[in-house]
Amino acid sequence: MIEVVEIPKQKLKLLRFSGYMERYFELIPIYQTYEQAWEALENELFRYFEINRYNSYNSFRSSRLKRKLCKHQKKKQNLIVLI
């Protein structure tokens, strides 16, 4: 027998990076540290999907930094093309 579980749309957003980050920023004011907010988010993700997005807080931080750098470089390249 297959068990059907209803998952709210808000929780499905956690599977996308943008939804994950949106929820992270919602949790920051609730917790004392950024790391605690991240831990709460990872626990939430695991509770609904039995997965973790990042192995550690440092992994999460470096991933965010890489994304920011990539966006910055793309914007810089677009400016060069436009000029």
pLDDT tens track for 43-58:
999 999 999 999 999 9
Is pLDDT larger for residue 10 or for residue 71? 10
Check pLDDT > 60 for residue 80. no
Q: Where are the domains of the chain?
A: 9-82
Contact 43, 50 (CB under 8 A): no
Tell me the pTM: 0.76
Distance CA 67, CA 17 (A): 10
- Mean pLDDT for the stretch of residues 20-41: 97
Distance CA 49, CA 11 (A): 9
Is pLDDT larger for residue 8 or for residue 76? 8
Q: What is the pLDDT of residue 7?
A: 82
Check pLDDT > 60 for residue 81. no
